């Protein structure tokens, strides 16, 4: 059975593969179109709470845990939680705005959490556009420098961007910028309402022309061609049924095939969102 | 001149999962993610069990004995397959010698 088949079967059997853990809604940026419901109240889950959650997920054989936010590094126990996830054998992804990921913080992320990938957010090809959306002066230059530093440390970095009316004319420049940085860029073409139903972010939605133009050019670009796939290998051990073992590149979308979302204030069943 | 380290596996070898490799059982099969190369490998139930037994304390001979019992297969055949598979995993950077 191939990796795709196995993930597909997990989907069919409603087996949990990936979990998105929103550690906190605190953030050091102030993005105009952020979808998080910042009015949510509740007790901040701490390390011990997350340790129990991660133990349970490991017992369920969940493969992938994404640490997100808000800005996940703003959680006071981020490194302990990330290290625990690593110890438990999860494939850890970190979704961060990248603003603090330099120097000792970046090194600790690599050494203590060992993420499969760090996903950061770029909002424009110029400081003016990027910072118009993040509303933090200097955030563009800092992100570009931090991406360079992370890749030089050996961290695998991917850049996400939401196409908006403000940055749609810079899509080509953003691809060029990411090419220079040697990291892939993926556009999300949809601006969504906030989780509390507030539709204000939709005012920034990209125009039809902007979306069509981005679609024409492609919404994603790899940093460089992927290495050739490994040959199919047959497992030499005697099996009850024949099974080929195939090496293949891990697709991010596949890893996210079946997942739930855990909110930072604790997630009663009603707030666990299952997404396909 | 560059030298390539040759790691020889035999039945006395003890294996552990590489630091950058991740492994999960999916019922009767296993998925190995090699974070270094961003590759996924799907392995059979027997191989999955071998990886579970590779905790650094059991030798491959111990593992083969356990597999022979659990899967009702002759030990000599299992032993040679275990060594061959272990060598593949070491070469692929998925496990290392404890």
Residues of chain B contacting A228 with CB distance shorter than 8 Å: none
In Å, what is the CA distance from A101 to each residue of A130, A159, A259?
A: 17, 14, 26
- Please list every residue in chain A whose beta carbon sits closer than 8 Å to the beta carbon of residue B26: 6, 9-10, 15, 61
- Ordered by start, the domain boundaries in chain A are 3-231+254-275
What are the pLDDT digits (tens) for A5-50? 767 777 777 788 889 999 999 999 999 999 888 777 778 899 999 9
Q: Check whether A106 has a pLDDT greater than 80.
A: yes
For chain B, the structural domain boundaries read 14-97
The CA distance from A137 to A164, in Å, is 19
DSSP letter for each residue of A114-173? --SEEEEE---SSHHHHHHHH--TTHHHHHHHHHHHHHHTT--EEEEEE-BTTTGGGHHH
| Residue among A2, A9, A240 minimizing CB distance to B45 | A240
pLDDT in tens, A200-236: 999 999 999 999 998 888 777 766 544 444 433 434 4
Secondary-structure percent of chain A, ordered helix, strand, coil, rounded to 5: 40, 20, 45
How far apart are alpha carbons A153 and A228 in whole angstroms?
24
Task: Please give the interface size between A and B, counted as residue pairs whose CB atoms are below 8 Å apart.
Answer: 98
CB A263 within 8 A of CB A21: no
Contact A116 B82 (CB under 8 A): no
For the cut 50, the answer to whether the pLDDT of residue A250 exceeds it is: no
Is a pLDDT exceeding 60 seen at residue A253?
no
pLDDT in tens, A134-154: 999 999 999 999 999 999 999
Q: In the CATH scheme, what architecture does the domain B14-97 have? A: Alpha-Beta Complex (3.90)
Mean pLDDT per 10-residue section of chain B, whose length is 98 residues? 74 94 88 88 89 94 94 89 91 90
Q: Give ipTM to 2 decimals.
A: 0.85
Contact (CB<8Å) A233/B88: yes
Domain A3-231+254-275 classification at class level: alpha beta
Q: How far apart are CA B35 and CA B19, in angstroms?
A: 9
Report chain B residues touching chain A, CB-CB < 8 A. 17, 19-20, 22-26, 29, 31, 33-35, 37-47, 50, 67, 71, 73, 77-78, 81-82, 84-85, 88, 92
Cα–Cα dist A109/A111, whole Å: 6
């Amino acid at each position: 059975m191939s990796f795709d088949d196995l993930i597909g079967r997990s989907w069919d059997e409603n087996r949990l593969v990936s979990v998105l853990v929103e550690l906190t809604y605190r953030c050091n940026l102030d993005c105009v179109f952020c979808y998080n419901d910042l009015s949510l109240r509740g007790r901040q889950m701490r390390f011990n709470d997350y340790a129990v959650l991660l133990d349970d997920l490991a017992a369920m054989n969940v493969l992938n845990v994404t640490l997100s936010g808000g800005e996940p590094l703003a959680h006071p126990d981020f490194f302990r939680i990330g290290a625990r996830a690593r110890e438990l054998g999860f494939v850890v992804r970190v979704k961060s705005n990248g603003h603090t990921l330099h120097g000792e913080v970046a090194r600790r992320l690599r050494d203590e959490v060992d993420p499969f990938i760090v996903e950061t957010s770029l909002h424009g090809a110029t400081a003016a556009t990027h910072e118009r959306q993040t509303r933090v002066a200097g955030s563009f230059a800092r992100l570009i420098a931090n991406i360079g530093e992370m890749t030089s440390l050996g961290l695998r970095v991917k850049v996400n961007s939401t196409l908006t009316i403000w940055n749609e004319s810079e899509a080509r420049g953003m691809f060029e910028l990411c090419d220079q940085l040697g990291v892939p860029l993926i556009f999300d073409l949809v601006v969504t309402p906030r989780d509390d139903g507030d539709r204000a972010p939709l005012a920034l939605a990209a125009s039809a022309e902007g979306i069509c133009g981005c679609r024409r050019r492609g919404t994603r670009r790899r940093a460089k061609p992927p290495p050739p796939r490994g040959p199919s290998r047959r497992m030499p051990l005697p099996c009850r049924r024949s099974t080929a073992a195939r090496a293949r590149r891990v697709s991010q979308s596949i890893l996210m095939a079946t997942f739930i979302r855990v909110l930072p204030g604790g997630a009663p069943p009603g707030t666990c969102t299952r997404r396909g | 001149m560059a030298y390539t380290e040759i790691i020889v596996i035999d039945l006395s070898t003890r294996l552990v999962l590489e630091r950058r490799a991740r492994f999960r059982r999916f019922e009767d099969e296993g998925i190995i993610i090699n974070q270094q190369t961003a590759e996924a490998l799907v392995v059979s139930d027997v191989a999955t069990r071998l990886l579970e037994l590779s905790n650094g304390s059991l030798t491959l001979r111990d593992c083969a004995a356990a597999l022979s019992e659990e899967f009702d297969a002759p030990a000599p055949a299992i032993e040679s397959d275990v060594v061959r598979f272990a060598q593949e995993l070491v070469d692929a950077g998925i496990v290392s010698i404890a």
